[in-house]
Structure 1
Amino acid sequence: MSFLGNLRKRFDSKRVTLQLDDIQGLILRARPEPYVGIHAMLHVDDAAGGRDLIARLADHVPSAKGWTDDMPAWLGVAISHAGLKALGLPDASLKSFPLAFQQGMAARAPQLRDEGENAPETWEPAYQDENCHIALSIFAQDAAELDRVKQKAMAELESASGVTLIGTHEFGADEQAKNPFGYRDSISQPTVAGAGVEPNDGDERAIAAGEFILGEDSEAGAPVAMPAPDVLGRNGSFVVLRKYESRVGAFNDFLREHGQDDAAQDSLGAKMFGRWRSGAPLTLSPDQDDEALGADPGRNNDFTYQDDAKGLICPHSAHMRRMNPRGSSLTILTDQNIHRIIRRSSTFGPKWDRDVSAAGDQGDRGLFFIFISARAYDTIEFLQQEWINRGNFLDLGEERDPIVGLHEQPGRFTIPAEPVRKRVNGITTFNRLRGGEYMFMPSISALKWIGRGGWQSES
């Protein structure tokens, strides 16, 4: 059964408590497999023209109503704090947003540990100097559907004035939905309470809706603080957008250096990711890949690490285990459920090829790491500081995430074993940051409110 088929099977409208018809569909709607799409970055030069475009685009943004049903293509709209300011929102609203969002991703580089080759001054122009005001994302099941929705969005942009297109990037993956390194991605997604879908048997419990949707109760029992006025904040969410160039050749070279044959290289890669390339988790298939398991949405996420306390099956430092410890005992205590995120990452460039080396890598592969959360900025800064670029919470000192960590000096990867653990040296930065921004994804009604300059009529 496909991922979407599995969702439809578990959906019951009687369980819905969220205002799905006001939430942007992209928040809950999963990518199709295969998928294609485009990200477009816009800069607002004139407030009235920008608001006019937002009003036009709002008519093309589908809601989350029917989010488990098939849809050939859909558009999502997110706006940065600099963008909201450029659109003319009043100071009271602008100041009601979280401080990190007000400052923007580049200004938060110290908190994100974006330094050296990942520092903001090295980013692509579209993401520098608060240039990115509006981000449009289109996901589609095929090129024809992508072109259909893209033409509608571009027609609205051409009809508007005072808005400049400053960058676009197409992306896509086949039915295996693999990332640039050849691993199936975006498997682990939280179940959002009140969205109408119950967890798979054996999956983690549903997470309070307020962890993802503003205005709903969070895991703490009350809503997370949201922007004012209510029409602006309610049913929206926050988005982290980070564009990475994936150094696939360097990763392949590393595996070849430490693995004498394909099987040994694949085993080491699985230890570093926490899954085999099919998506099968080490915890359920420790010794070899299992294509059927990896492709089964009812089984490939049905596990915890509670029976692997020593990390003998899946290393504590594996990328997947760091990003979702699933009941692991952590030295630095934290509520793992308030760090859950909805992933909408997208891969671009050629498919993974075992024979690519650093010398022959064209640098044209990568991914947009995109996630949605009501606590997005606290979460990404926590992840970057603790779970990605440190190892203290695992008693591993300064050991960093082997896949997305910044390694300005060659690092190491620890593989627990008995009687003696193994340390693999020579980890480098396999994903280089090329830009990013903190964004706000308003509700459908908020898009329309922004589009008509609703605060002006209220003042």
Structure 2
Amino acid sequence: MSLLEKIRDRFRPDRVTLQLDDIQALILRSRPEPYVGIHAMLHVDEAEGGRALLGRLAQHIPSAGTWTEDLEAWTGVAISHAGLKALGVPEASLKTFPLAFQQGMAKRAEQLRDFGENAPQDWEDAYRDDHCHIALTIYAVDKDRLDIAVEKAMGEYRASSGVTLVGTHEFGADAEAKNPFGFRDSISQPTVAGAGVEPQPGQERAIAPGEFILGENSETGAPLSIPQPEALGRNGSFVVLRKYDSRVGAFNDFLRAHAEGEEAQHKLAAKMFGRWRSGAPLPLSPDHDDEALGADPQRSNDFSFKDDAAGLVCPHASHMRRMNPRDSQLTILTDVNIHRIIRRSSTFGPKWTPDVTARDDGDDQRGIFFIFISARAYDTIEFLQQEWVNRGNFIDLAEERDPIVGLHDKPGSFTIPKDPARQRVNGVTTFNRLRGGEYLFMPSLTGLQWIAAGRW
């Protein structure tokens, strides 16, 4: 049974409290497995032409009212602050957006710790100098359906004036849905209260909808501030897009240098990620991979860290435990539920194999678009980058960084708790180099039409 079929079995229309017909489907709808797709970046040169294109594209964007139904392809649209400005949105409205969004990702490099080789001056052209105004994403079940959906979107673009296509990138993965390093990706997703489904095993409760949908009550019991007017802001959300070049060969070389034999290398990789390559989590399968467990969404998240306080099974420094500490005891206290995100990451490049070496690494060979959706997106990504990714104080590991997505200006270390003495594995480098990104706003369908109409 597919993930969509399992969601459909859990869906209860009488439990829906959100305005699903006004929310873009991409917010709630998981990607298919296998999946293919394309990201397209557009620059608005002339406001009227940009608004006309946005209005036509809006006709091809399904609502979340279809999020449990079969779709062969679907499209999502998000807009940067520079894009809203280029489309002519009044300054009075622009000022109601969060400051981080107004400034854009490149200008938030200090808060994001985007230094050195991750610095904005080295990003790809599509993401530099406010080039990315509109980000168009299409997911499809196969290449034929993708080609049809792309032709529809590009047909609207070719019929437009005053808009320039500044970049495209195709992506995709097979039914195992693995990332460039060979690990099943985007497993743990929050359940959104009011969307019509109950939490799966391992998810303590549904998260308040206002953590993801603007205008709904958040975890504080009240809505977060939304962009004005309400027709623009309500039922929208915020998006973080970060494109990474994955140094798979360097990662493989690291494993070979620090573990003897294939089995030991797989185990070290699992310790660094927190899961085995199948997606089976270490707390449920500490000593070996379990493909059946990894492929079962009813079981693969049904765990906690309460019986592993010392990190002997799943290291505190592992990527999974950093990004979702669950019930871990943290030195720096935080409400984990207000840092939950809906992930829509997409993998590109050849499938992982153990024989790839650093000599095979290169720009755009393999990589991932790290994309997530949250009503607190910018506070969340900047907190993650500062505390959970590029520091270790919150788990008593000083400056030790995330072994997978951390930026290492010099070789770092990865700590594996053991009895009687912990093990430090040295030589961790930057395995994912940032190639660009942007802060985006994903309007509701009403919001898209409000922008397109231009009746300020």
Q: Residues 47-66 of structure 1: CA distance to partner in whole angstroms, max 9, x if unpaired?
A: 00000011011111000002
Question: 1:454 Cα deviation (Å)?
Answer: 2.8
Determine the C-alpha separation between the residues in 1 that align with 2:5 and 2:266: 30
Question: 1:5 Cα deviation (Å)?
Answer: 1.8
1:20-35 equivalence runs, <5 A: 20-35=20-35
Unaligned runs of 5+ in 1: none
Whether 1:439 aligns to 2:440 is yes
Determine the C-alpha separation between the residues in 1 that align with 2:418 and 2:177: 32
2:82 is paired with a residue of what secondary structure?
helix
Contact 2:247 2:362 in 1 (8 A): no
Partner of 1:416: 417
Determine the C-alpha separation between the residues in 1 that align with 2:408 and 2:68: 40
Partner of 1:380: 381
2:83 is paired with a residue of what secondary structure?
helix
Question: 1:312 Cα deviation (Å)?
Answer: 0.4
TM-score normalised to structure 1 length: 0.99
1:217-228 equivalence runs, <5 A: 217-228=217-228
Partner of 1:43: 43
Partner of 2:14: 14
1:299-318 equivalence runs, <5 A: 299-318=299-318
1:65 is paired with a residue of what secondary structure?
helix
1:240-251 equivalence runs, <5 A: 240-251=240-251
Q: Residues 350-373 of structure 1: CA distance to partner in whole angstroms, max 9, x if unpaired?
A: 000100000133441000000000
Question: 1:70 Cα deviation (Å)?
Answer: 1.5
Question: 1:162 Cα deviation (Å)?
Answer: 0.2
Contact 2:201 2:301 in 1 (8 A): no
Sequence identity (%): 74
Determine the C-alpha separation between the residues in 1 that align with 2:398 and 2:201: 36
Whether 1:365 aligns to 2:358 is no
Contact 2:238 2:375 in 1 (8 A): yes
Question: 1:176 Cα deviation (Å)?
Answer: 0.1
1:359 is paired with a residue of what secondary structure?
helix
Whether 1:253 aligns to 2:253 is yes
Question: 1:314 Cα deviation (Å)?
Answer: 0.2
Contact 1:6 1:298 in 2 (8 A): no
Partner of 2:283: 283
Output the amino acid matched with 1:191. Answer: T
Determine the C-alpha separation between the residues in 2 that align with 1:87 and 1:66: 29
1:175 is paired with a residue of what secondary structure?
coil
Q: Residues 343-401 of structure 1: CA distance to partner in whole angstroms, max 9, x if unpaired?
A: 00000000001000001334410000000000000000000000000000000000000
Output the amino acid matched with 2:414. Answer: F
Question: 1:3 Cα deviation (Å)?
Answer: 1.5
Unaligned runs of 5+ in 2: none
Determine the C-alpha separation between the residues in 1 that align with 2:44 and 2:202: 47
Determine the C-alpha separation between the residues in 2 that align with 1:201 and 1:114: 36
1:454 is paired with a residue of what secondary structure?
coil
1:434 is paired with a residue of what secondary structure?
strand
Question: 1:203 Cα deviation (Å)?
Answer: 2.2
Determine the C-alpha separation between the residues in 2 that align with 1:50 and 1:203: 42
1:30-179 equivalence runs, <5 A: 30-179=30-179
Whether 1:451 aligns to 2:456 is no
Contact 1:2 1:297 in 2 (8 A): no
Which 10-residue stretch deviates more, 375-384 or 192-201?
A: 192-201
Whether 1:185 aligns to 2:196 is no
RMSD: 0.6
Number of equivalences: 455
1:407 is paired with a residue of what secondary structure?
coil
Output the amino acid matched with 1:429. Answer: T
